[in-house]
Structure 1
């Protein structure tokens, strides 16, 4: 069996590292990681040890060192700010693209790199940076396939649409039916927890997709022990929430309720979705993530009818109507679960919740990248 040794760049909280560790039937491991954020490095060390990760700028990586690292795969999630809808969309003119571009320029001179997995924000697919990337990869002998995927595609109640690229040198992807392929908007193979095959067929009767036994085995393995692994195929939010949470500690402040009550993204325990959590969660309002209604005896409709009736004339009455809903933020642990990190993931004791939210907002969804790693090496 081929040994795959991974260099994890822009490592963040180590989502790719967990995804690699989840590949129980493959000879693959992360041997080195680079990350510049000090708090991310501390967290990474708590979970994966002190020897794997280096706190350094990727621009310092040379061709000689990349060869010397003795790796044949690179997994990375480069900065998304040049492409995000909330940014200035400077694309290749944003200095935060420099490190990513530097890595790409090393590839033609490093024949040892045979596999790539790249994640970025929705919007990257229409960027000049993507055009440059594909040109370099294809001229370097890589076959590529691209996806736009969200955890909701896999039964996880959190919307986090992201761009993914898989690339292999001199190895075509057997599932790709188009040449050149378009960006795929669904995962190629069946990811149902319990596979139901058509008679004398390899097609799942539930999702109508082809069954890849390696990937199906991976899904079954990780749905069998949700709390010890990552959560999948549990579509209700209550499966991801703490049973006992200090509502007052995580309550949405009165000033936010009064001023921004009508743009809060409210969710209940029985909802099957939530908005993407960003690094601005809890200190930005619009588009930064959902909040949870904890009082099940008061309807949202009743509370908001009173809120909108009194908002302009009696602010205290308007505020009281929303207070009854007991609206709180999702805790860092709950966001972590929605990002499909295992429940035994460790945070340094000195990190604030604000820092945890920021780091999680920049992270990958572990379940999605776990399946993509499997697709990269097993398809």
Structure 2
């Protein structure tokens, strides 16, 4: 490998959301050469990763346990960028919230134990996780480890709808840059819920020339743009059963694509299997409004009548392709043909939003992201 190549380690790589974000960043700008090493132990995710990312010489996927990594491994890789999205179940509202006591946190703890002994520390780090990570013991361990290792940090709680995407998926993001020389420890800054806008070549770590906004518009906020045409899939596979309609109609989030401000809720890995709190349901009827049908439902307690009214809305689940669109995966994203809809939902529910990660990587790397030559 060329020593001037920009070297990336993508830990907990899943189906490669960070890979897509990095590829779009560097290849769209026709900038520096890069090489990505990805590590994950999820067999299904790795099959999808290989299908989408192993067609060139710019990526290598290792099906390793992260706990097998040593500080010597990091020193040999001599990384420019480390990205990671550790398992969220120890911190999520739908998980067990055991934090560092959860066995799924053991690989993260192992990484934190390694970091002080790594001689060639990654120049940049980006971490993504669920809201809730920022109040965890794992977060405290992460921040103290990075500070001891001379990293400057910025933290955010951001959602795709702040970037013009009709999807609410609030996530914690940390951007860090290693200071190899004299290091002045910074006081903890508040975790920002605003989108950072560095001006010119200003660094995100500079207090000057960085503007913060509640929202920026990188996409057209129209749910219609993210939907598949009905002829592209078997709609019957995604319709709700009468039992589901009757049991959950008062608690599911129904979105109408005719509403220009319609926004979907966060899609989790349990989408399709569970309806409550796992993602939105799509109304496909153009004849009846949600308010009109639910006003009629309020006037009856007859189950058959309620089901008949709900049928008028033509409710269905979002397809995996539509969820991938809302998470800003490129249209070229593929799944093996034999992967079930449930498998696809699970893998997408554990993924990152590609556009948000791309944006934050760009401001983390600054001028490096748009250099028209190799790093010297």
Shift of 1:317: 1.4
Residue deviations 1:264-296 (CA, integer Å, cap 9, x gap): 100011343110000010111111000101011
Structure 1 length as normaliser, TM-score? Answer: 0.84
SS of the counterpart of 2:285? coil
Q: Partners in 1 of 2:97 and 2:247 — Cα distance?
A: 29
User: How many residues get paired?
Assistant: 340
Q: CA deviation at 1:56?
A: 1.9
Shift of 1:104: 1.8
Matches within 5 A, 1:1-379: 3-24=5-26, 25=29, 26-27=31-32, 29-49=34-54, 52-112=60-120, 113-170=122-179, 179-189=187-197, 232-245=218-231, 246-269=234-257, 270=259, 271-311=261-301, 314-378=302-366
| 1: CA distance, partners of 2:100 / 2:106 | 8
CA RMSD of aligned residues (A): 2.4
- Asked whether the 8 Å contact 2:194–2:213 carries over to 1, the reply is no
- Does the 8 Å contact 1:20/1:30 carry over to 2? no
Q: Deviations over 1:207-243 (max 9, x none)?
A: 979xxxxxxxxx9xxx9xxxxxxxx411010010012
- Tell me the SS of whatever aligns to 1:310: coil
4+ residue runs over 4 A deviation:
none
Distance in 1 of aligned mates of 2:314 and 2:293: 11
Q: For structure 2, list consecutive stretches of 5 or more residues without a partner in the other structure.
A: 200-208, 368-376
Distance in 2 (CA, whole Å) between partners of 1:254 and 1:156 is 31
CA contact (8 A) 1:156 1:338 kept: yes
- The DSSP-based 3-state class of the residue aligned with 2:175 is strand
Contact 2:7 2:77 in 1 (8 A): no
Q: Which has the higher contact order (CA 8 A, sep 6+)?
A: 2
Q: Structure 1 unaligned runs (5+)?
A: 173-177, 192-201, 210-218, 224-231
Q: Which moved more, 1:115-124 or 1:97-106?
A: 97-106
Asked if the contact 2:8/2:37 (under 8 Å) is kept, the reply is: yes
Deviations 1:37-92 (A, max 9, x none): 11100000001117611112111111122222342321000011111111221111
Q: Conserved in 2, the CA contact under 8 Å of 1:11 and 1:35?
A: yes
Q: Pick closer, same or farther for the CA change 1:45–1:184 going to 2, 3 Å.
A: same
Q: TM-score, normalised to structure 2's length? A: 0.85
